[in-house]
């Protein structure tokens, strides 16, 4: 599925809808350059799942992962930008988390071949300063 020329509210609506509809376990790999909208997407997704539209969702750039308890499992919001080698993800328990939670992964390229099979892939590209294209691929 491909959605083009989305303004910010339209972009957030797609992330919200996915957050409402998707069931676990779900790994969502978020591809896109710096400033594309991976964190913005994650924020809307997490707020939708937790039914809290003003929940503070901070970018986990410095601590790799931020978790949110949800219905007996967790939502993992991961930013692998600063990951030096794929082995480091085992240290934070990410590979285990993939099997039974919701995981949103920014910079999934850093996983190398540790990326899970069956993940949903989302590619975000910048059409203009204020518009984005989202391509969603299910396995
Ligand atoms: P990333 O995590 O991919 O580096 P961010 O989500 O942190 O990117 O930043 C995206 C920025 O672009 C945010 O400041 C957001 O408000 C802005 N933006 C402007 N227009 C849009 C749009 N149509 N869709 C998503 N983000 C947009
Ligand atoms: Mg980000």
The encoded tokens of residue 16 equal: 């919200």
Distance 42 CA to ligand 1 centre (A): 11
Identify the band that residue 47 occupies on the pLDDT scale cut at 50, 70 and 90.
very high
**Of the residues 37, 105, 134, which should be mutated to test ligand 1's pocket, given the most ligand atoms within 8 Å of the CB?**
37
Ligand 1 interacting residues, C-beta cut-off 6 A: 6-8, 11, 32, 34-40, 106, 130-132
Confidence class for position 54, pLDDT limits 50, 70, 90: very high
66-120 tens-digit pLDDT: 999 999 999 999 999 998 888 888 888 999 999 999 999 999 999 988 889 899 9
Strands (E), the chain: 2-6, 26-31, 65-70, 73-79, 102-106, 120-128, 131-137
Average pLDDT, the chain: 95
Question: pTM of this prediction?
Answer: 0.96
Given a cut of 90, is residue 63 above it in pLDDT? no
Asked if residue 53 lies in contact with residue 43, where contact means CB atoms within 8 angstroms, the answer is: no
Torsions phi, psi of 12, nearest 5?
-65, -30
Interaxial angle between packed helices 8-21 and 38-49, expressed in degrees from 0 to 180 and rounded to the nearest 10: 50
Ligand 1 atom closest to residue 42's alpha carbon, by position in its atom list = 6
| pLDDT surpasses 90 at 10 | yes
């Amino acid at each position: 599925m491909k959605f083009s020329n989305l303004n910010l509210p339209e972009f957030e609506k797609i992330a919200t809808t996915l957050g409402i509809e998707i069931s676990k376990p779900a790994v969502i790999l978020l591809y896109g350059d710096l400033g594309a909208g991976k964190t913005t997407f994650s924020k809307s997704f997490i707020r939708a799942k937790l039914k809290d539209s003003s929940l503070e969702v901070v970018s986990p750039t410095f601590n790799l992962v931020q978790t949110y308890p949800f219905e007996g499992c967790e939502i993992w919001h991961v930013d692998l930008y600063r990951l030096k080698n794929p082995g480091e993800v085992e240290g934070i328990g990410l590979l285990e988390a993939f099997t039974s939670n919701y995981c949103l992964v920014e910079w999934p390229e850093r996983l190398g071949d540790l990326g899970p099979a069956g993940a949903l892939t989302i590619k975000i590209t910048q059409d203009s300063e204020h518009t984005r294209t989202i391509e969603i691929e299910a396995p």
